[in-house]
Structure 1
Amino acid sequence: MPHLPPFSLPGRFWRGNLHTHSTLSDGVLEPAKVVQAYKDAGYDFMMLSDHFIDHFDWPVADTRAFRSNSFTTIIGSELHAPQTSAGELWHIVAAGLPLDFAPCAPEETGVQVARRAADAGAFIGIAHPAWSQLTIEDGRALDVAHAVEIYNHGCAIECDRGDGFYLLDQLLTEGKRLTAFATDDAHFRHPDHFGGWVQVKAEANDPDLLLAALKNGEYYSSQGPLIHDISIEGPELHVTTSPVDTIAVVCGHSRTVQRLGRSITDATLDLRKLERGWLLTKQSPWFRVAVIDQNGKRAWSNPVWKDQL
């Protein structure tokens, strides 16, 4: 039974957070203490994504001194420039920026700064779309994005706007080949940390390898549950996980296929059921896996495109 990426790839999964703030912008803790908090919590890597804006003197945090044999950091920032359809600044996670990334020019737009960051080698993520009230037009405009932030723990606990799937799924159905990442967006004022992360498959816990894997979509996201493997044989998808109560496949319309139970660790799901249904007139070109444990914690695969199977 062929295993799907990233589960089929060599290496191991590394747990990391890509969206966190320090005293370099509006966070409570100094950079060293933020990094130490993630080390102590069992993470393998993290990124300080302080707000890249003139109010904070355009910070790109140099966290190289905090790297060790067992923990590493990615250099990046949360980019801002005018303006979304709601009339607000863009919030764009950029992982893998050079330390000398130039400040925004007064006339530079959010779309333009995202393109400049992508040209500099960064992984570009559309941050907290529900919190920012982004529209489908906003998503289309950010044409260099690699991913949508589908879970933002800070936004979820502060105002129940942590979800980004509404935007991701629409863009996927329009053919945008985006992936899905979960984060904390921690400022450490509240219990806004250690609630969402990525599990990145790479052969070593190395910033360059992690960044390449993120760009290639070689990861999944979680609030706690583990996805051990996803494989496919003919129309059947086989998923193995840590103990959960739901293993489901969703796609670009309302059809789903799932296994429900108590502390289940595997499911074989018939993907043909996604193509059947009353008044269903269009098939989805993609699907993704979601799992839910008994505490309501979730994990999510990246989208799988049928034309790549």
Structure 2
Amino acid sequence: MHLKGALHVHTTCSDGTLSIDQVVSVYTGLGFDFIALTDHDYLVRGGCYDRVERLDTEMIVFTGLEMTVFEKGYLHVNRIDGDRETLHIFNHPAELDLPLAKVIARINAVARRLPIDAVEVTTKGFRTPEYETGAIPFPKVATDDAHTRQGCGRAWIEMDCARDKDSIIRAVRNNAFWNCYAGN
């Protein structure tokens, strides 16, 4: 089955401007089949994602956290929870504002501590092609890191796989998807 999804979305559970219901409505309107709610670990309120269980939607809604990890400064790694499996994505490396070799060293250092499955090649949904290099030994994913309505749908992944959380996670891990960008 052909699926379209966003793996980095913020809500009012942390620093986003849209509620969970509003985010689901916007992405449904954009034709998405799945999204991952990845609010910031240090801002998310307990019980905030309880609303996900009561959503009336056909969309697959993952929950997770954008974790703050310290490795010569702070950086972010998304943890996205499936039914049985978990996906970890190193987020927006361009925001580190470091030379590529130093970014790769940070990714590798974090990968020794956490099971990194993929690396973002976007910043706020805009392509950062310098990170699409084979020197980064992980699948490269496009995400929009949406915090506002304007940020929704800038970048996403598409894949052909079964319509369930763990199949989506495995497709990302196996690099069995392609990146898409609005207007490109």
Structure 1 and Structure 2 fold alike (TM over 0.5): yes
Structure 1: runs of 5 or more not aligned = 1-11, 99-119, 157-161, 225-294, 298-309
Specify the code of the residue in structure 2 equivalent to 1:37: V
Any conservation in 1 of the 2:36–2:63 contact (CA below 8 Å)? yes
Paired residues for 1:201-280 under 5 Å: 201-203=160-162, 205-224=163-182
2:135 alignment counterpart: 171
Aligned residues: 176
1:28 aligns with 2:17: yes
CA-CA distance at 1:168 after TM superposition: 4.5
SS at the partner of 2:38?
Answer: coil
| 2:173 is the alignment partner of 1:188 | no
Given candidates 72, 76, 98, the residue that maps to 1:91 is 76
Contact 1:51 1:77 in 2 (8 A): yes
Task: Determine if the alignment matches structure 1 residue 153 to structure 2 residue 124.
Answer: yes
| Residues in 2 aligned to 1:197 and 1:138: alpha-carbon distance in whole angstroms | 24
Say whether residues 1:79 and 2:67 are aligned partners: yes
On the 8 A contact 2:85/2:169 being kept in 1, the answer is: no
**Residue 13 of structure 1, CA deviation:** 2.0
Distance 1:16 1:207 in 2: 11
Seq. identity, %: 26
Matched residue of 1:64: which SS? helix
Corresponding residue for 1:133?
Answer: 97
Other structure's SS at 1:36 match: helix
Query: Could you say which structure has the greater relative contact order, defined with CA pairs below 8 angstroms and 6 or more residues apart?
Result: 2
Partner residue in 1 for 2:157: 198
SS of equivalent residue, structure 2 residue 3: strand
Structure 2: stretches of 5+ with no match in the other structure: none
Aligned with 1:50: secondary structure? Answer: strand
Distance, in Å, in 1 between the alignment partners of 2:120 and 2:154 is 13
Q: Does the Cα contact within 8 Å between 1:60 and 1:76 map onto a contact in 2?
A: no
Distance in 2 between residues matched to 1:28 and 1:22, nearest whole Å: 6
Q: Which amino acid aligns with 1:141?
A: A
Structure 1 CA distance, aligned partners of 2:13 and 2:92? 21
Structure 1 residue 43 and structure 2 residue 32: aligned? yes
Q: Which amino acid aligns with 1:166?
A: E
CA apart distance, 1:75 = 2.1
Distance change (3 Å), C-alpha of 1:80 and 1:188:
same
Greater gyration radius: 1
| 1:207 to partner: Cα distance | 1.6
Name the CA shift for 1:194/1:52 in 2 (closer, same or farther; >3 Å): same
Q: CA deviation at 1:18?
A: 0.7
1:50, 1:41 → 2: CA distance?
21
Matched letter for residue 51 of structure 1: H
The aligned amino acid for 1:14 is L
